[in-house]
């Protein structure tokens, strides 16, 4: 479980080995066993970079593997959505 409304959820209460995740605005992911062995701090810049890298590698794999492309291509319309943006700041 990576996301919840708080860093600790019932899942963590029931699973003492489960990691707790927090976010910070720095670059690198961090973990300090002396502070809390279960806490992992995710750097937002690194997280975004990780997502972009993973998607890029996945799309490259789709381009080189006909079998993977056949599985992925029909699913894209359900995953990708175009949402028009309105101009201005009005609500």
Closest CA to 30 of 20, 42, 38: 42
Q: Give the separation between CA 61 and CA 86, rounded to whole angstroms.
A: 35
Specify the pLDDT at position 10: 78
- Quick: pLDDT tens for 38-76: 989 999 899 999 999 999 999 999 999 999 999 999 998
CA dist., res. 12 & res. 20, Å (int): 7
89 or 34, greater pLDDT: 34
Would you give the end-to-end CA distance of the chain in angstroms? 33
pLDDT digits (tens, 9 = 90+) for 1-43: 455 445 567 777 788 888 888 888 878 999 999 998 998 999 9
């Amino acid at each position: 479980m990576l996301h919840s409304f708080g860093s600790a959820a019932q899942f963590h209460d029931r699973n003492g080995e489960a990691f707790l995740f927090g976010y910070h605005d720095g670059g690198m992911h961090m973990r300090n066993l002396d502070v809390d062995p279960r806490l992992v701090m995710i750097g937002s810049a690194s997280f975004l970079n990780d997502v972009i890298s993973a998607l890029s590698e996945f799309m490259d794999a789709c381009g080189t593997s006909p079998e993977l492309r056949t599985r992925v291509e029909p699913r894209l319309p359900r995953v990708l959505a175009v949402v028009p943006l309105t101009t201005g700041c009005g609500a």
